Chain A
Amino acid sequence: MTMTTTAAPVTETPARIEGRSPWLLAWRRLRRDRVAMVSLAIIVVIFLVAVFAPVVAALTGHPPNEQYRQTGLTPDGLPRPPSGTFLFGTDDLGRDILVRVAYGARVSLGVGVVATLLTVVVGVVIGVAAGFLGGWVDTVLARLIDVVLSLPFLLTAIALVSLSGPSLTLTVLVIGFFSWSSVARIVRGQVLSIKEREYVEAARSLGAGDLRIMAVDVLPNVLAPVIVYTTLLIPVVISVQASLSFLGLGIEPPTADWGGMIAESRNYYQTSWWFMFLPGMALVFTTLVFNLLGDGVRDAFDPRVDRLIRK
């Protein structure tokens, strides 16, 4: 797996032999990708905003769910445009949109990361098991993957969520339930080819059991496509979570969340553009930087793409 630099002719100081794992190589390529690094920096900033949302609330002096019916609404009871007091304006209940956008980042990033991790862990475990064990395990799991992939996603997700009312935990579970199958399918395909390799045979002839081979020899070799898929899955999950909230199925009001805020703004878009556009821009911007980073990660793991274009 590791590559070594060719040793220089023997001299006083032997040439330093440096092990470069595929991970290190990928990381180096990623670090040279300016767009990806800027995106990564912005993602870090968005994470900080999410973590320090209470600080934003303290700085403005406006708690996220506080309704300023006097100062935050016009005499006609409409949202107020951005101003010195309310930098992003107010919503239909006179709440500070800036503070709510900051708190909304917690929901989007939280669900995005947790649901994605859940998806990937379940998908990898099932994919490795199906691909490596084969036989009836593979038959059952492959059929299960087919069933989940033939369910109309959003329709079933809405049905599931509506049964027990909006909740964040359920949103995470529903997204995880529907997404693991694509990860499992990718991983299963990879494992099918990996298990025929010599090093797996070598491990087996040394007396390693199925579990050990799966964990030590197979798993590390399927991680590259999984990491690429994970980075690109996060923005999709954020988008789905926002869509569920938009349909009123994501999270219980008055908790601030981007999709929910955009839904609330629907009756006010003719008078109060900021109510819809500012949370909307936060949402698009976040998914955009994740997608840019994901593209970079993919190119870093698959430099072939780059070479194809250069020639």
Chain B
Amino acid sequence: MVRFLVRRTLSGLLVLWLISMAVFALFFITPSNVARTIAGRQATPEIIAAVNRRLGLDQPLWKQYLSFVNKALHGDLGYDFYHQVSVAHIIGQALPITVSLAVGASIIWLALGVFNGVMSAVHPRSFLDRALTAVSLFFFSIPSFLLGLVLLYFLYFRLTVAGYTWFPAGGYAPLSAGLGPWLNHLILPWFTLALISAAVYTRLTRGSMLDILSEDYIKTARSKGLSERRVVYRHGLRSALTPVVTQFGIDLGQLVGGVIITETVFSLPGLGKTSYDAITQQDLPVIIGIVLFAATAVIVANILVDVAYALLDPRVRMH
């Protein structure tokens, strides 16, 4: 187990290094107009050169990269081009919002998805199964930006017009402002993310549960006289969860990118929206900081998935 963790961590670091180089290279393939934007319209070439010097953009690419890596290894991700705020601070500001969004949404989608999937699989071909399959297929087919807008239309706009101001149009309220406002601002974004993912998990759980329920050891469990509930939840669900855990690992890692759209639709200033803004302004230190942070999340999530396998399925522990 220790050797496995060490090997995975090393290969994760290799991947991070490749990604950092890729982002750096990409940024410099296209001409940058950061200095021009900062210096303003009237700027003379001298001023632009001065701005470039201040930001370190006049150095050769390899020197900039080495200086970035050197600082990053000392825990310093640099400062953003426009307001000289440290990237670590920017990520620190945005992170709680994205974490609130991601944690809440993933709890909802896991609960909904696994429960619906089990319900479908226990009564295959029933009305409930068909209805759940149809509903999940619908949510599976709707892009998140559209679902977000539709929720806003009915649950914010239509309700407000009807005199029920239950949900805000967007924005974020930190937990320090109280549990109520925090929940209130997050419910619609949570469901936007969760309903779509829940559809994936319903289908996944259903398929894997159907496979497992036809295995011999389930028959054994039944013939021992165990209650159906015990057979389904203790013996069936536990093994059926393996593909769900895989998918959850992948999704968790991809969330930093995935929340971009939800955060944009609901004006939540989390990592997704921050990175989107940074990208449109070519704010390299912020982009690279968030991309590396997000990639780290993917890698850590993958390692955790493998650990979770071992815990769920004793057979994996041998390898």
A positions within 8 Å CB-CB of B: 143, 146-147, 149-160, 162-164, 235, 239, 242-243, 246-247, 259, 262, 266, 269-270, 273, 276, 280, 283-284, 287-288, 291-292, 295, 305, 308-309, 311
Partner of A150, one of B15, B137, B264, B276: B15
Cross-chain contact B137 with A280 (CB below 8 angstroms): no
Partner of A262, one of B27, B145, B152, B211: B145
User: In the complex the two chains form, what is the Cα distance from A284 to B157 in whole Å?
Assistant: 22
SS of B interface (majority)? helix
Cross-chain contact A308 with B11 (CB below 8 angstroms): no
With A158-B279, A266-B149 already in contact, the answer to whether A150 and B143 are too (CB < 8 A) is no
Cross-chain contact B298 with A276 (CB below 8 angstroms): no
Inside 8 A of A266's CB, which chain B residues have their CB? 149
With A152-B298, A164-B30, A288-B137 already in contact, the answer to whether A158 and B146 are too (CB < 8 A) is no
Tell me the smallest distance from the CB of B151 to a CB of chain A, in Å.
11
SS of A interface (majority)? helix
Inside 8 A of A157's CB, which chain B residues have their CB? 257
B-side interface size class:
35 or more
Tell me the smallest distance from the CB of B67 to a CB of chain A, in Å.
21
User: In the complex the two chains form, what is the Cα distance from A150 to B257 in whole Å?
Assistant: 11
Tell me the smallest distance from the CB of A136 to a CB of chain B, in Å.
16
Tell me the smallest distance from the CB of B145 to a CB of chain A, in Å.
5
Inside 8 A of B141's CB, which chain A residues have their CB? 235, 239, 284, 287-288, 291
Inside 8 A of B282's CB, which chain A residues have their CB? 162
Partner of A276, one of B142, B153, B253, B260: B153
Cross-chain contact B253 with A150 (CB below 8 angstroms): yes
User: In the complex the two chains form, what is the Cα distance from A284 to B146 in whole Å?
Assistant: 9
Inside 8 A of A305's CB, which chain B residues have their CB? 207, 210
In the complex, 24 of the A-B residue pairs with CB atoms within 8 angstroms, ordered by the A residue number, are: A143-B11, A147-B15, A147-B18, A147-B19, A150-B295, A150-B298, A150-B299, A151-B291, A152-B253, A154-B260, A155-B257, A155-B294, A156-B291, A239-B141, A242-B146, A246-B143, A262-B149, A276-B153, A280-B146, A283-B143, A283-B146, A295-B137, A305-B207, A305-B210
Does B105 make an interface contact (CB < 8 A)? no
Inside 8 A of A242's CB, which chain B residues have their CB? 143, 145-146
Cross-chain contact B149 with A158 (CB below 8 angstroms): no
Cross-chain contact A292 with B142 (CB below 8 angstroms): no
Tell me the smallest distance from the CB of A213 to a CB of chain B, in Å.
30
User: In the complex the two chains form, what is the Cα distance from A156 to B295 in whole Å?
Assistant: 10
Inside 8 A of B299's CB, which chain A residues have their CB? 150
Inside 8 A of A269's CB, which chain B residues have their CB? 149, 152-153, 157
Chain A residue with Cβ nearest B31: A163
Cross-chain contact A163 with B27 (CB below 8 angstroms): yes
Cross-chain contact A163 with B214 (CB below 8 angstroms): no
Does B96 make an interface contact (CB < 8 A)? no
User: In the complex the two chains form, what is the Cα distance from A156 to B292 in whole Å?
Assistant: 11
Inside 8 A of B143's CB, which chain A residues have their CB? 239, 242-243, 246, 259, 283-284, 287
Does B23 make an interface contact (CB < 8 A)? yes
